[in-house]
Amino acid sequence: MFADVLIGRIPSRALPRMLGLAVLAGLAAAGPAVAQSDSSAVFVVANVSDEVTAFTANEDGTLDFVGNFPAGEGPMAITITPNGRYLAVTHGTGNSIEEQLLIYRVESDASLTQVYDTMVPDSPMAAVWLNNDTLAVTETDVGGANFVHVYRWDPDGVSLTLLDSESTGSFNTHLILHPNSQWLYAQDSWSANSISWFTVESDGTLTPGGIVYTGSVYPLKLAVTHDGQFLYAAGGISQGGHNILGYRVGDGGALTALPGSPFQSPGQSPAHLTIAEDDAYLFAGHGSDGTVRSFSVDAAGALAATGYWYDVGMQGSIGDIKVLKEYLYVTDETTADDGLRGIYGFHIQENGSFIKIGGIIDTFSTRPESIAVWKGCKKGDVNCDGVVDIDDVFEVLANWGACEDCPADVNGDGVVDIDDLFEVLYYWG
């Protein structure tokens, strides 16, 4: 009877993928799934007070303070898994041949529980999750040998295992993953001035794909449009200090310079980049004049300054910028000029302007810098992999029964049961 009801509610296109009720019953006996934040969330590294600040993000872009969580000495890079369940933080103290790397479990209220502490080669200035169980971390040495190290994360065994190491030049401080998760990009802003790309293999190892040299403009932070067509690099103080490099992404992740690149910013020393979710605008945070500015992105990838900007403060005020849904978040890391420190929220408008949401939000920490954002899961996507499918059915069955604050409780009634199964089936596809 249960099988008839279940199969009758599954979309016909999914029936061939069903493994049989015997398999489903076995999965139902498995342990509970790990949670992630129930709502959108923003996490901020505090480099001097050695903390991570957690906020939940409301529908209107306002942030609710969750708490500050110890992060070891000199935290720098922060990255969250695609499913929102784990957060990794790297450190840089400048006094060691190894540095600390911490991994936290993200709880349903966006609070953090540290679950792992290890050492990685000095200095890990950048990190990015390649998928939910593979983490890429830089080894950065100014003018020396730089690498990207790839580790397998095992949450059950609570361990990191080195999978691969690849050369990234002589000063690699940033990594970015293409939206298709197949290509990883690493910049080198030392003598080579280049951007390298790697193919991410199914076993987590990297295959070098190629390198593009950026000439006299060195690349700092990178950004890729959500449709995967274009990649941009902030040019910092190089060659007059107004440059943003632009590339078309081709077969195998290869980069080809866009006509008109480098594009010119009215601001001084572009350092931080992020892109609106509809890819209509790029936002740049500037190091020398402390401004955030928006640029339109046309169909060919060309950038044009919109004329909209916000002055965060003095030189070096901006710690990071990130887009979450239709909102832009900017950290102000110093109180030196105006006594303000924390994170700003802005609502992105259709014309590229961005309107500040209230005043600055205190992180209750010292020198708030790097930001990681968590968008949340769509309805029925229990494992939060971006699609509602048979894997989400399995997650519901694996958590059958009473379950407090469990992602498998899709309808939020406090118990995982057939109603949640029907919810997943309704949102399938």
Would the pLDDT of 403 be above 70?
no
Residue 361 is given by DSSP the state B
Give pLDDT, residue 307. 98
Residues 266-277, mean pLDDT to the nearest whole number:
98
pTM strictly above 0.85: yes
Distance of alpha carbon 368 from alpha carbon 364, whole angstroms: 9
Of 172 and 377, the one with more pLDDT: 172
The predicted-structure confidence for 89-137, as pLDDT tens digits, reads as follows 999 987 778 999 999 999 989 999 999 999 999 999 999 999 999 999 9
User: DSSP alpha helices (H): ranges in 41-179?
Assistant: none
Counting beta carbons within 10 angstroms of the beta carbon of residue 179, is it exposed (0 to 12), middle (13 to 18) or buried (19 or more)?
middle
Would the pLDDT of 224 be above 80?
yes
Would the pLDDT of 384 be above 80?
no
Grade residue 413 by pLDDT with cuts at 50, 70 and 90: confident
264: its two tokens: 């010119």
Would the pLDDT of 14 be above 80?
no
Grade residue 24 by pLDDT with cuts at 50, 70 and 90: very low
Q: Where are the beta strands (DSSP E) in 202-260?
A: 206-213, 222-224, 230-234, 243-249, 255-257
Helical (H) or strand (E) element with 296: strand 291-297
Give pLDDT, residue 16. 37
Query: Strand pairing of 98-106 and 112-121?
Result: antiparallel
Domains of the chain, earliest start first? 2-34+384-426 (1.10.1330), 41-374 (2.130.10.10)
- Chain-centroid distance of CA 324 in Å reads 10
Distance of alpha carbon 17 from alpha carbon 138, whole angstroms: 39
Grade residue 245 by pLDDT with cuts at 50, 70 and 90: very high
Distance of alpha carbon 240 from alpha carbon 223, whole angstroms: 21
Q: State percent of the chain over pLDDT 70.
A: 90
The predicted-structure confidence for 38-73, as pLDDT tens digits, reads as follows 789 999 999 999 999 999 999 999 999 999 999 999
Q: At what angle do helices 21-28 and 390-398 cross, to 10 degrees?
A: 50
Would the pLDDT of 3 be above 80?
no
What would the DSSP string read from start to end of 56-71? Answer: EE-TTS-EEEEEEEE-
Residue 267's alpha-carbon distances to 290, 295, 343, in angstroms, are 8, 11, 20
Give pLDDT, residue 47. 95
What would the DSSP string read from start to end of 244-282? Answer: EEEEEE-GGG-EEEPTTPSEE-SSSSEEEEEE-TTSSEE
Task: At 422, give phi and psi (nearest 5°).
Answer: -65, -35
Grade residue 408 by pLDDT with cuts at 50, 70 and 90: confident
Give pLDDT, residue 392. 86
Cβ distance 68 to 110 under 8 Å?
no
Would the pLDDT of 230 be above 60?
yes
- Chain-centroid distance of CA 366 in Å reads 22
Q: Which of 26, 111, 20, 29 is nearest to 66 (CA)?
A: 111
Of 367 and 24, the one with more pLDDT: 367
Give pLDDT, residue 402. 61
Grade residue 34 by pLDDT with cuts at 50, 70 and 90: low
Give pLDDT, residue 429. 62
Q: What is the residue-averaged pLDDT of the chain?
A: 90
CA angle at residue 199 from 255 to 282, to 5 degrees? 45
Residue given tokens 């490099």 in the structure block? 245
